[in-house]
Amino acid sequence: MFPDSRGVRPSVTEEIAQYVLELWHEHRIPIIMSTLFILSLVRIYLHSTQTREPLRVLSNLDEKVAPKPSAVRDEKPKIEMEEESEASEATESAVGKKGEKKGPRRIKGDASRKARGATQAGNEARKIQVLLFYSSLTGSTEKIAQTFAQELETSLGDSADKGSGSAFLSPKVLDLSEADYDEYFITPPKSEDDQTDLFYLLLIPSYNIDTINDSFLEHLQETHHDFRIDTSPLAPILGYSVFGFGDREGWPTEEEGFCIQAKDVDKWMAKLSARKRAYPLGMGDWKRDGKERLSEWKTGLVDVLKQLELTRSLGEGVPGSGDPLESDDEEEAEDDGEVLIEEVSVSKTTKGRSGGSLEDVEDIGRIMEFSRTDGPGQKSAAPLAIDFTTEGKAAAKKGVTVTVKEMVPKSSPTYAALTKQGYAIVGSHSGVKICRWTKSALRGRGSCYKYSFYGINSHQCMESTPSLSCSNKCVFCWRHGTNPVGTTWRWVVDPPQLIFDGIRENHYKKIKMMRGVPGVRAERFAEAMRIRHCALSLVGEPIFYPHINEFLGMLHGEHISSFLVCNAQHPDQLAALQHVTQLYVSIDASNRESLRRIDRPLHRDFWERFQRCLDILRERRFRQRTVFRLTLVKGFNIEDEAEGYADLVERGLPCFVEIKGVTYCGTSTSSSAGLTMANVPFYQEVCDFVVALEKALLKRGLQYGIAAEHAHSCCILLASERFRVDGKWHTLIDYDRFFELLEEKGPDGDFSPEDYMGPPTPEWATWGQGGFDPRDQRVDKKGRPIEAA
Ligand SMILES: Cc1cc2nc3c(=O)[nH]c(=O)nc-3n(C[C@H](O)[C@H](O)[C@H](O)COP(=O)(O)O)c2cc1C
Ligand code: SF4
């Protein structure tokens, strides 16, 4: 090495470094190439000989299908699952689905989706154990319990322990005389891995002698009252249901003790489980219908269990459903377009927007164009823009362009008011609601008067209307502040199929919500899942709807009978109406002045319209089963009006005349009408009026008689002698025959009401007998049984 410029000679180390550097510069390319080559060889070798570790995210997906027992524990694992689903989403988006463009993963804050995914994943991991408890003295329930458990397992798609993929473990059958109550009825037992939810079924035969049932009931009661224990210690179970066996031979009615202990068990279980009644109490007579009832109960139960498997939730219940206090208070509001006085505070805004004055309404002309704007999420079914009436041409004449709006838009106060009152609004102008009688019949507490008079089952009756709008503002209709009014159809028209599907769906939804309500009977609940009747009378005017005939066709197509009530203000639509099972016209007064005062009609020619409607009814009396409905309001339309009503009957010659006292619910603030309790006639006053009317009819040579009564609803039926056969009234309807005739002869077919007249009116419903179905139990406002007089 040479000395540097300063004449200093480099050290040995410096000389070596210099040498290595020169060497690198000379040979770096071959060195890099050969290193890369060697590394590649090593990589290939390792790849072909080593077992691969699965990718982390894929392993997670596997875990989701078959989780390790410890993978899901209460809250925390849910979070883990969430992360897993996030991870799998990440993988999917990073790897990209087949044919999809790969790209950076976008993270969106879709909390609900994540939560749902997490719950489902959690649900998949958890199992459901049905515990079937029974008691038995003479052994029949024991045998039934064993068979029932096997059948249930099959119906649920076999059990998880047999590897079926179902969440249900094999049902366990437990004899209450051997089971440790402390183990099952103080707090629900936990499985070893804490991965199992419990569902309790109880098969209880009743005994009026001392049996194991007594100590069991005592235990339930004591547990509930024990101050050291929570009042609802069984709340963690998924749900429960009870079925009782009894013997009607010795204990004919529930009041006499039929299935009494099953009822008690059901009641205490509701308290202990914090209202987890998953399906109504079933009851069967072991000698007669026991098996049939049990099988029905099982069908309903399986539906609920399958829903539980998916959602782990019993779903919605009506307010107060399964109340731990088992309070049986019922609201007294009577529906069915039946007239009532109720305390309702009507907001000024609501009134202003929905009502509109007479002048406003009459200014609206024929609708020439349709300009509905479908907001996001609104149904896409094409609405039809029609003004089907012949009235209100003023605007058209003036050349005013009218924008077609929805009758009851979701954002309107009307919508809010109606939904608050329990209506489900379907589309933009139809509604459905469960009436109090449907609820009452589900609980075996009596049906509406239409059961006594015409044989309709209230628990199979749907109350609805395709038009929430009306052309009157009747003094006794408390809804006139909340429902829209008008003389012409000036709104968007929904197609009939949309209405039919919507009301049916919402009706069933509302029935299902009654599942946990105390006292609902399993067999009636099961029957209620098949609508047999439709009362088109809820609120508004059904024949106002332009496609009423198509809509009726849909009801009849499903063998749902139609009870249509109209207000005698739309003669053209009435004349065009096809067959209905029973056609009502509301007759609210006997003369022009009284009608104006009571109905406060929007049409200026209301009296002429009214009379034309009566004439149409007269013409059609051998085609349609026609009914006048009179609503008596004291101080308005009772006094001295019997003669006037008789004249109207003479004009319309209806098949029947229903006379009903207005119903009172609370203090009336029924708008300016100011009706009070003083306007509600006593039943005796209604009876006196009916007797006077019958006399007035006979005086005119009209063949009518008092056929039936339903004192509970303050309702009496006058019928034409056409419906008296061999001295017996035949006010019931043969529904099957009605549908046969309709199918044979068509909706305009030539057949008469007599052709589908039913069997004789039951004795208990005839005049003087009160009209309460003896199968049912009358209760007072607090749900306490009322002894028959
Ligand atoms: C002594 C006795 C008392 C009974 N008491 C009632 C009763 O109060 N209410 C009822 O509905 N059934 C009553 N039953 C009918 C039983 O509940 C019915 O026979 C039941 O199916 C018996 O079930 P098991 O064989 O599993 O014990 C009674 C039967 C017996 C023998
Ligand atoms: S007819 Fe139907 S909707 Fe009307 S009160 Fe009776 S059960 Fe209720």
Tens digits of per-residue pLDDT, 375-387?
Answer: 333 333 333 333 3
Question: How many angstroms separate the CA atoms of 319 and 517, rounded?
Answer: 9
Question: Position 354: which residue type?
Answer: S
Which residues, 6+ apart, have CB-to-CB distance to 51 below 8 Å? none
Compute how many other C-beta atoms are within 10 angstroms of the C-beta atom of residue 80: 18
Q: Which ligand is nearest to the CA of 528?
A: 2
Question: How many angstroms separate the CA atoms of 562 and 486, rounded?
Answer: 25
Q: How far apart are the first and last CA of the chain?
A: 134
| pLDDT of amino acid 368 | 26
Contact 507, 434 (CB under 8 A): yes
| pLDDT of amino acid 259 | 96
Residue 138 Cα to ligand 1 middle (Å): 9
Q: Where are the alpha helices (DSSP H) in 283-412?
A: 290-311, 348-350, 358-363, 394-398
Q: Are strands 282-285 and 239-246 parallel, antiparallel or unpaired?
A: parallel
| pLDDT of amino acid 30 | 83
Tens digits of per-residue pLDDT, 606-651?
Answer: 999 999 999 999 999 999 999 999 989 888 777 778 999 999 999 9
Closest CA to 338 of 616, 670, 658, 602: 658
| pLDDT of amino acid 37 | 84
Specify whether domain 340-765 bears CATH 3.20.20.80: no
Residue 208 Cα to ligand 1 middle (Å): 8
Question: How many angstroms separate the CA atoms of 377 and 359, rounded?
Answer: 35
pLDDT greater than 70 at residue 307: yes
Q: Whose CA is nearest to atom 7 of ligand 2?
A: 458
Residue 563 Cα to ligand 2 middle (Å): 9
Q: Which of 330, 340, 437 has the most ligand 2 atoms within 8 A of CB, as the residue to mutate?
A: 437
Which residues, 6+ apart, have CB-to-CB distance to 506 below 8 Å? 424, 426, 432
Compute how many other C-beta atoms are within 10 angstroms of the C-beta atom of residue 157: 15
Q: Which ligand is nearest to the CA of 286?
A: 1
| pLDDT of amino acid 334 | 41
Question: How many angstroms separate the CA atoms of 97 and 706, rounded?
Answer: 76
Question: How many angstroms separate the CA atoms of 655 and 619, rounded?
Answer: 12
Return the structure tokens found at 397. Answer: 């004449």
Contact 68, 81 (CB under 8 A): no
The distance of Cα 430 from the centroid of its chain, to the nearest Å, equals 15
pLDDT greater than 90 at residue 9: no
Which residues, 6+ apart, have CB-to-CB distance to 55 below 8 Å? 91
Closest CA to 672 of 483, 481, 469: 481
- What is the b/e burial string over 167-195, where b = at least 16 CB atoms within 10 angstroms of the residue's CB? bbbbbebbebeebeeeebbbbbeeeeeeb
Return the structure tokens found at 548. Answer: 């009423």
Compute how many other C-beta atoms are within 10 angstroms of the C-beta atom of residue 207: 17
Most confident of 26-35, 431-440, 620-629: 620-629
Kindly state if the Cβ of 140 falls inside 6 Å of ligand 1.
yes
Q: Which ligand is nearest to the CA of 531?
A: 2
Residue 461 Cα to ligand 2 middle (Å): 6
Contact 193, 187 (CB under 8 A): no
pLDDT greater than 60 at residue 56: no
Q: Which of 434, 458, 531, 710 has the most ligand 2 atoms within 8 A of CB, as the residue to mutate?
A: 458
Residue 489 Cα to ligand 2 middle (Å): 27
- What whole-number percentage of the chain has pLDDT above 70? 73
Question: How many angstroms separate the CA atoms of 572 and 549, rounded?
Answer: 13
Kindly state if the Cβ of 258 falls inside 6 Å of ligand 1.
yes
- Provide φ and ψ at 212, rounded to 5°: -60, -25
Q: Whose CA is nearest to atom 30 of ligand 1?
A: 207
Kindly state if the Cβ of 283 falls inside 6 Å of ligand 1.
no
Q: Predicted confidence band at 783 (pLDDT cuts at 50, 70, 90)?
A: low
- DSSP string for residues in 504-522: HHHHHHHHHTTTTSTT-BH
More confident: 570 or 418: 570
- What is the b/e burial string over 433-465, where b = at least 16 CB atoms within 10 angstroms of the residue's CB? bbbbbbbbbbbbbbbbbbbbbbbbbbbbbbbbb
Backbone dihedral region for residue 320 (phi beyond 0: left; psi -120 to 50: alpha; all else: beta):
left
Kindly state if the Cβ of 213 falls inside 6 Å of ligand 1.
no
DSSP letter at 562 equals E
pLDDT greater than 80 at residue 234: yes
| pLDDT of amino acid 53 | 39
| pLDDT of amino acid 423 | 87
Question: How many angstroms separate the CA atoms of 188 and 230, rounded?
Answer: 13
- Provide φ and ψ at 600, rounded to 5°: 40, 60
The distance of Cα 86 from the centroid of its chain, to the nearest Å, equals 36
Q: Which of 245, 248, 258, 259 has the most ligand 1 atoms within 8 A of CB, as the residue to mutate?
A: 245
Contact 330, 783 (CB under 8 A): yes
Which residues, 6+ apart, have CB-to-CB distance to 754 below 8 Å? 722, 723
pLDDT greater than 70 at residue 224: yes
Kindly state if the Cβ of 210 falls inside 6 Å of ligand 1.
no
Question: What is the CATH number assigned to the segment(s) 126-311?
Answer: 3.40.50.360
Kindly state if the Cβ of 8 falls inside 6 Å of ligand 1.
no
| pLDDT of amino acid 482 | 62
Kindly state if the Cβ of 48 falls inside 6 Å of ligand 1.
no
Beta bridge partners of 535: 463, 563
Q: Which of 207, 258, 285, 294 has the most ligand 1 atoms within 8 A of CB, as the residue to mutate?
A: 207
Which residues, 6+ apart, have CB-to-CB distance to 562 below 8 Å? 533, 534, 536, 552, 555, 556, 580, 581, 582
Q: Are strands 704-710 and 715-720 parallel, antiparallel or unpaired?
A: antiparallel
- For 13, the enclosing helix (H) or strand (E) is helix 12-49
Q: Whose CA is nearest to atom 1 of ligand 2?
A: 535
Number of the ligand 2 atom closest to the C-alpha atom of 337? 4
Closest CA to 713 of 761, 783, 766, 659: 659
Tens digits of per-residue pLDDT, 723-756?
Answer: 999 999 999 999 999 999 999 999 999 999 999 9
Contact 698, 645 (CB under 8 A): no
Q: What is the mean pLDDT of the chain?
A: 77
| pLDDT of amino acid 561 | 98
Q: Predicted confidence band at 601 (pLDDT cuts at 50, 70, 90)?
A: confident
Return the structure tokens found at 642. Answer: 């019997």
Closest CA to 268 of 318, 215, 218: 218
Q: Which ligand is nearest to the CA of 249?
A: 1
Question: Position 591: which residue type?
Answer: N
| pLDDT of amino acid 49 | 58
Residue 586 Cα to ligand 2 middle (Å): 16
- DSSP string for residues in 599-658: H--S-TTHHHHHHHHHHHHHHTTTTS-EEEEEEE-TTTTSTT-HHHHHHHHHHH--SEEE
Return the structure tokens found at 54. Answer: 């699965």
Is the entire prediction scored with pTM above 0.80?
no
Residue 143 Cα to ligand 2 middle (Å): 42
Contact 309, 128 (CB under 8 A): yes
Tens digits of per-residue pLDDT, 328-360?
Answer: 333 333 444 344 443 333 333 333 333 332 222
Q: Predicted confidence band at 265 (pLDDT cuts at 50, 70, 90)?
A: very high
Q: Whose CA is nearest to atom 4 of ligand 2?
A: 336
The distance of Cα 655 from the centroid of its chain, to the nearest Å, equals 34
Q: Which of 141, 210, 247 has the most ligand 1 atoms within 8 A of CB, as the residue to mutate?
A: 247
The domain ranges of the chain are: 126-311, 340-765
Residue whose pair of structure tokens reads 């458990």 in the numeric block: 149
Residue whose pair of structure tokens reads 């007797």 in the numeric block: 691
- Length in residues, the chain: 789
Average pLDDT over residues 154-165: 77
| pLDDT of amino acid 333 | 37
Ligand 2: residues with CB < 6 A are 335-336, 435, 437-438, 448, 450, 456, 458, 461, 463, 535
| pLDDT of amino acid 18 | 80
Q: Which of 330, 339, 438 has the most ligand 2 atoms within 8 A of CB, as the residue to mutate?
A: 438
Same fold, 126-311 and 340-765: no
Burial group, residue 782, by CB count within 10 angstroms (0-12, 13-18, 19+): exposed
Number of the ligand 2 atom closest to the C-alpha atom of 438? 7
Question: Position 648: which residue type?
Answer: L
